[in-house]
Amino acid sequence: MASVKVAVRVRPFNQRELDMGAKAVIRMDGKKTRIVNLSKTAGDVGFKDFTFDHSYWSFEPSDPDFATQEQVFEELGTEVVASAFEGYNACLFAYGQTGSGKTFTMTGPPDDPGLIPRICEAMFGKMQEEQEDKNYRVDVSYLEIYNEKVRDLLASSNPSGGLRVREHPRQGPYVSDLSHHLVTCYDHVAQLMERGNRARCTAATNMNDTSSRSHAIFTLTFRQAGLGAEGLPCETTSKVHLVDLAGSERADATGATGQRLKEGAHINKSLVTLGSVISALAEKRVGSFVPYRDAVLTWLLKDSLGGNSKTIMVAAISPADCNYSETLSTLRYANRAKNIVNQPTVNEDPNVRLIRELREEIYKLRGLLGEETQPKVLAELQQKEAKEKSLTAEWAEKWRETQAILREQQALGLRKAGRGVVLDSDRPHLVAIDQDDRLSTGVTLYHLNRNGDTVIGAAEGSDIVLPGLEPHHCIVTLKDGIAVLTPKNGYCSVDGLATETSSRISQGSLIGLGRAHVLRYNDPAEAAQLRKEGRVMSRSSLFGGSTSDLNLNVEERELETERRRLAREYEERKRQLDEERRRLEERQREAEEQLRLREEKLEEQRRRIENKKEEELEKREELQELEKRVVERLATLQERQKRVAELDAQLEAAREEVETARLALKERTEAELQAMHKRRASLSLALNGRGRLGPPSSDDSFHTATDQPQTLWPPDSALSDSGLGLASPGEALARKVAQQKEKILTALEDENCDKEALNDHIAHLQELQREQIRLETKMNGNFKGGPARRPLEAEVDEPPITVRANAFRRHSAFELSSP
């Protein structure tokens, strides 16, 4: 496997960019190419870097790093030549926007040729070096894809609908009826290339004065054969595709309208398909569909992209800032193309492979024989040896015949031109035109002696022997490139005019000799000079007088017979054409029906795709809405979590506060209980002291001041050990107060405390305390002769208790305080 090699080449500013005052946005350093976005602000990153196999700086010729056509060929073209001689298919194509320098890199001007002519010249030069050991055969084809139709650039005419593209199951896509021209030297290749370039479609646009309006593919089919180690035949066939693509373009930038706009649409369609193929191959997804057949260009380059070929891509880019977007797009495509992996294999001839496999089997069978003779193995060995020798002999004979034909064609100057064969020669010669000999099927060529006389006549010693003439009919003298016809004993004419004296003959002159022979004079040097000067000889000068002279002696009967034959042929041909027309109309109707069905199918597919796109758009909008809601919910959740954290903190603080209040209340209650016990003890002592004095007398001030019965003070036998009667109202009241406070403490320690029940307990406690104060006040007012004593601090200063409640989450906590 081998990855596609990618090279990038930047051209200088063209006149249009100089007039616009364009700035350079391309920088190169080794294999790295940087594109700078001058529209970016100072704070933004305004460049992108790409790394390729080769980066060619052809912007300024005075720069020491300037890449010439020769350097590009040495690094890229030599690889193509080496791959072809190793038996691999090779492809080199140039990609980029219109006017970026693709055609200059691939073809180049005559004084500075590009990759295609240099590769062809190098191949023939290497064939000349290795000609002793191997035999070679080279065929050339040249086509263009114009408006998605294939045209043969080397054919005299093309069908209106273009040539058809087909696909062989093993050899891949090919163009049906495409002409292939056998070439034996680089000069022939140059002539064919020049002829094809003249026929190629170009036009002027705002972006390029000579914009290519089609994709051109120049193909070399290179066959080489020879004998390898141990006399085994070796034969490989390599196809070298050299592709000059039309440039991608924008209608607003090129100013295209009408036909130019239509051409641009087809160009962009094929280039978009090429980009899709590159992207699909670069992603390397298993089972992914590669749209080769969406465009003729990608279909023909199927083997070159991901198939059996070693491929090189040259990305041609503009340095100007006005072409920033197109240049960036080209660099991105080139960067993707680096990831394409091809699977090149040596294209060995099947017969040669079979011979090699037979030879290996023969070696194995000989090893099985050993010292003892085994009839079965021996018979198989002899059979395979015979087959191997037969195939080798056939292969050698085929190449001997091929080489003989090549040598003969080269000697005669034969070359194919479309469906015909051109007979070229570098020497002045005469070509026989035998109008009376209707059975003649060949062409006779007579070379003239260089710088001397050529005798024409019926005598055996003449240089050119023609029957029906005088023994020494005439002489043609050739000296310093000038040919002169001198009649001797027979009738002679030049371009239909009889001559009896020496007459100069020039390129294309028709020479009439006697009544039956017409010869045409050809001088290749003079013809080349006339082509260079642009002169064209008229048909009337060539055929006018001579044709009438030749037909003077034709009998009327022969003319009538010929006329009838032509009439029959005309009727037959007309019938055939009518039949062919009917068949074509039938095929057209079938094709239209198929096209209609295809259009309906495509329309249905388009509707399905549009519906699917609408569904996907709706799903995408729903997804965006859902994402928005999720974001909002997440924000709400975060806010709630924050609030919960705050509430937890408040709850913890409240718990601490409640705990502090509870402890304070507990300490306070214990202090109050202790004070109550002390008061009870004091009260008991006071009451005990008073009881020992005995009951009050009649003149006692307390007794006299009150007329109350002495039921408040029980007898001594009713006192307890502490001096307080068990049935005393004060002791009962104190016990109730203590019990009520114990209930309040028990309620406060319970997490599920009921607020209303707690408030009831506290209210009841306050009521008991007020009743206790009233009782003590009343008791202190009953002491004899003494003023009512002041209540204890614990009795008077104790404030009423109130409750504040704060609710948190699952339970309530209560806070005690004094108003």
Helix H, strand E, coil C: the string for 561-629 is HHHHHHHHHHHHHHHHHHHHHHHHHHHHHHHHHHHHHHHHHHHHHHHHHHHHHHHHHHHHHHHHHHHHH
State yes or no: 287 annotated in a binding site. no
In which domain, by residue range, is 210 found? 2-342
DSSP-assigned states of every residue in 389-447: HHHHHHHHHHHHHHHHHHHHHHHHTEEEETTEEEE--SS-EEEEE-SS-TT--S--EEE
Based on the fold, state whether residues 530 and 574 are members of the same structural domain: no
Q: What is the largest CA-CA distance in the chain?
A: 210
Residue 200 pLDDT greater than 70, yes or no: yes
189-193, 226-230, 469-473, 560-564: the lowest-pLDDT one = 226-230
Tell whether 170 is covered by a domain: yes
Residue 53 pLDDT greater than 50, yes or no: yes
Q: Is 55 helix (H, G, I), strand (E, B) or coil?
A: strand
Domain termination residue (choose one: 342, 360, 380): 342
Tell whether 209 is covered by a domain: yes
Tell whether 705 is covered by a domain: no
Based on the fold, state whether residues 100 and 210 are members of the same structural domain: yes
Mean pLDDT for the chain?
75
Percent of all residues in the chain with a pLDDT value above 90, rounded to a whole number: 14
Based on the fold, state whether residues 154 and 280 are members of the same structural domain: yes
Tell whether 687 is covered by a domain: no
User: Token digits for 34?
Assistant: 């940087």
Tell whether 647 is covered by a domain: yes
pLDDT band of residue 232 (cuts 50, 70, 90) is low
Tell whether 72 is covered by a domain: yes
35-39, 696-700, 770-774: the lowest-pLDDT one = 696-700
pLDDT band of residue 26 (cuts 50, 70, 90) is very high
Half-sphere exposure of 177 (CA within 13 A, CB side): 12
Tell whether 697 is covered by a domain: no
State yes or no: 327 annotated in a binding site. no
Domain termination residue (choose one: 386, 417, 448): 417
Based on the fold, state whether residues 591 and 542 are members of the same structural domain: no
Based on the fold, state whether residues 322 and 461 are members of the same structural domain: no
Based on the fold, state whether residues 524 and 562 are members of the same structural domain: no
Residue 123 pLDDT greater than 80, yes or no: yes
Could you identify the residue written with the tokens 């003989």?
A: 404
- Determine how β-strand 497-498 pairs with β-strand 503-505: unpaired
How far is residue 296's CA from residue 246's CA, in Å, rounded to a whole number?
Answer: 13
Based on the fold, state whether residues 540 and 572 are members of the same structural domain: no
Highest mean pLDDT among 117-126, 417-426, 581-590: 117-126
Closest CA relative to residue 29, chosen from 68, 63, 3: 63
Which letter does DSSP use for residue 791 in this model? P
State yes or no: 325 annotated in a binding site. no
Based on the fold, state whether residues 379 and 465 are members of the same structural domain: no
Instruction: Please give the single-letter amino acid code of residue 464.
Output: I
- C-beta pairs of 371-376 under 8 Å, 24+ apart in sequence: none
State yes or no: 101 annotated in a binding site. yes
How far is residue 818's CA from residue 782's CA, in Å, rounded to a whole number?
Answer: 33
State yes or no: 279 annotated in a binding site. no
User: Token digits for 68?
Assistant: 């010439």
Domain termination residue (choose one: 417, 439, 471): 417
Highest mean pLDDT among 316-320, 576-580, 815-819: 316-320
Based on the fold, state whether residues 258 and 230 are members of the same structural domain: yes
- Provide the CATH number for the domain around residue 146: 3.40.850.10
State yes or no: 103 annotated in a binding site. yes
Domain total in the chain: 5
Based on the fold, state whether residues 146 and 249 are members of the same structural domain: yes
Q: Give the per-residue pLDDT at 739.
A: 85
Residue 793 pLDDT greater than 50, yes or no: no
Based on the fold, state whether residues 324 and 385 are members of the same structural domain: no
Tell whether 707 is covered by a domain: no
State yes or no: 99 annotated in a binding site. yes
State yes or no: 389 annotated in a binding site. no
Half-sphere exposure of 580 (CA within 13 A, CB side): 6
Based on the fold, state whether residues 400 and 433 are members of the same structural domain: no
Average pLDDT over residues 588-610: 88
Residue 234 pLDDT greater than 50, yes or no: yes
